[in-house]
């Protein structure tokens, strides 16, 4: 699999269906959360935006679907948030919190 990059989400990434890692533990903190990944022995603080993306990673939605859902929630154009959502999913993946099954 190619290395991760900082480039905007590509078509192959937008078609991916990210899924939350089964072993992570989520500790809500208001509209944010602390997410613990036992396999990595690491915890991550997710802000409101990252948590919204993380919660939509269900293995059913594509990255593009997640971007459109976030845009709909915020009243943006359908693909307005796709680059940011693609980057967010990539960062969640690098942290081991989601994977592409």
Interstrand relation of 25-29 and 18-20 (parallel, antiparallel or unpaired): unpaired
Model pLDDT for residues 34-65, shown as the tens digit of each residue: 999 998 899 999 999 999 999 999 999 999 99
- The Cα 52–Cα 54 span in angstroms is 6
To the question of domain 11-100 being in CATH 3.30.930.10, the answer is no
**Can you give the pLDDT at residue 11?**
53
User: Is the pLDDT confidence value at 20 over 90?
Assistant: yes
User: Is the pLDDT confidence value at 13 over 80?
Assistant: no
What does the domain layout of the chain look like in residue ranges?
Answer: 11-100
User: What mean pLDDT comes out for the span 8-22?
Assistant: 78
Chain centroid to CA 42: how far?
17
**Can you give the pLDDT at residue 66?**
97
- Mean of the per-residue pLDDT values for the chain? 89
């Amino acid at each position: 699999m190619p290395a991760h990059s900082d480039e905007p989400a590509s078509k192959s990434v937008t078609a991916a269906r990210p899924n939350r890692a089964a072993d992570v533990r989520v500790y809500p903190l208001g509209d944010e959360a602390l997410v613990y990944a036992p396999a990595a022995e690491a915890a991550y603080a997710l802000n409101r935006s990252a948590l919204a993306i993380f919660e939509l990673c269900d293995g059913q939605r594509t990255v593009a679907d997640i971007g459109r859902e976030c845009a709909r929630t915020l009243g943006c154009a359908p693909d307005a948030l796709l680059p940011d959502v693609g980057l967010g999913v990539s960062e969640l993946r690098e942290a081991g919190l989601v994977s592409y099954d």
